[in-house]
Amino acid sequence: MKGRNNRISISDRHSYIYSFRKQGVYLLKPQDTIIRYMSFPKMKRKELEEAIVTEYLSYAAIAGGTPDINWEIIDETNDYVRVLAIGIKKEHLNEIYTEVKKESGVKLFAAVVLVGVVAELVKDLSEEKDFGVVFVGDNQSDLIFYKNGKPIYGRNINIGHRDMITDVGFSERDITDFLSNIDEAIIRNFPNPVKVFVASITRDDPTIIEALRRYSSYEIESFSSLMSIAAEDTHEAVLRAAWNLGVSGHPMYVFVPELYKEEQRVARRVFYTTIVLIATILFGLGSINLTYQNLLALKLEQETKQRQLMILNEEISKLLPYEEEYNRLLKQREALGKLAFIENNPHRYWQYYVELGRLIFGNRGTLISINGTSSMLQVTVKFYQEEDMLRALSAFKSSNLFQRVIVYSTSKTADKKTNVFLLNIGVSLK
């Protein structure tokens, strides 16, 4: 870690930054985030996501802004789901990003919740599996409790250092109110009292610890005392831990500014364009398509490809009521996949397969063949009833996925002494 410009003091507002080669993480203090513990009836994942956003907004009321919410299921049964959510206003995060970049030249690739950093350090450095962490800010504090080494409860406490520790001493009322929030968390989640670590890195820890211990009935530990075992500089240790957490991308405690994401997207586009131009100069115009497709294949990560295949299979499974036609579709899928434009762009064309299957099999048709280019597919389908063919043709023409439909031919023939109606059409993809 030597040689890093570790801590950058830009202003009182933006002094919690850890940087390396103009890349940095920003530590979100208690007033920056809202922590919410929520409980819902058992529901599907998509419905749960919508419920979390609705419930969070009704509680948090992030004034006129768009929240960026990270959440984690901490308890789940057949009847209910309990969630711990942490959020920040996207606009506020982008403001921090812009100001830090302007004043210091540092690009923030992540913003990390301070109480989460402290909690992870407590978990790593102590032998405690069940414990609480409170990070005391100026006017607000954050509380997180862990059980069996995992976060299970959290909230904000609207009391901070300035409320509890005054110029003339302790504020008994604010300290007891502060401790009542911790009492509630312990009673709610543990059969017996657990150790609570208190961190206040910008203030005098012993003063806060002394005040809290005077009025509490359980064990209050100084986070600084714990850190003294592992590092001489408590603040430096927290900053380094925040960097590591930001790099690893912990889903609960780490937020990425939208402006940073956009800069990364632009940088990738510039990179890909540059590579294509270099390939063109070296190998000629014929290399452009091949080079672009290879880069596209590299860009699609394995997880994304698996998700695309999962979505395709889920949509195909909806055709199960048409069992005979469904089996025929599965036989066609291997042939479909051999088309070059389908192999290169599966994420674009899967919706057309689903629409084709719905229009063909939903009107009692059987797929005979399919070929074409990336902009026009030629499809041949047979029907045993003329009205089924006409109904399918009408459905093709009214589908909003196709730009236009060309009827090459309609014909009538015989198949095992049964009349067969063939529909040969071209569909232009949008």
For residues 289 and 423, membership in a common domain is answered with no
For residues 94 and 148, membership in a common domain is answered with yes
273-325 residue pLDDT tens: 665 566 555 555 444 444 445 555 555 544 555 666 666 666 656 655 555 55
359-377 residue pLDDT tens: 887 788 887 877 777 677 8
For residues 36 and 96, membership in a common domain is answered with yes
- As a whole number, mean pLDDT of residues 378-393 equals 88
For residues 370 and 274, membership in a common domain is answered with no
CATH number of the domain that residue 419 is part of: 3.30.1360
For residues 165 and 249, membership in a common domain is answered with yes
Nearest-angstrom CA–CA distance, 168 and 170: 7
Q: Which residue among 297, 319, 353 closes a domain?
A: 297
**What pLDDT score does 2 carry?**
41
- As a whole number, mean pLDDT of residues 129-148 equals 92
Considering the entire predicted model, what is its pTM? 0.59
Do 28 and 114 contact (CB within 8 A), yes or no? yes
Domain that holds residue 394: 302-429
Q: Is residue 155 part of a domain?
A: yes
Q: Is residue 126 part of a domain?
A: yes
Tally of structural domains, the chain: 3
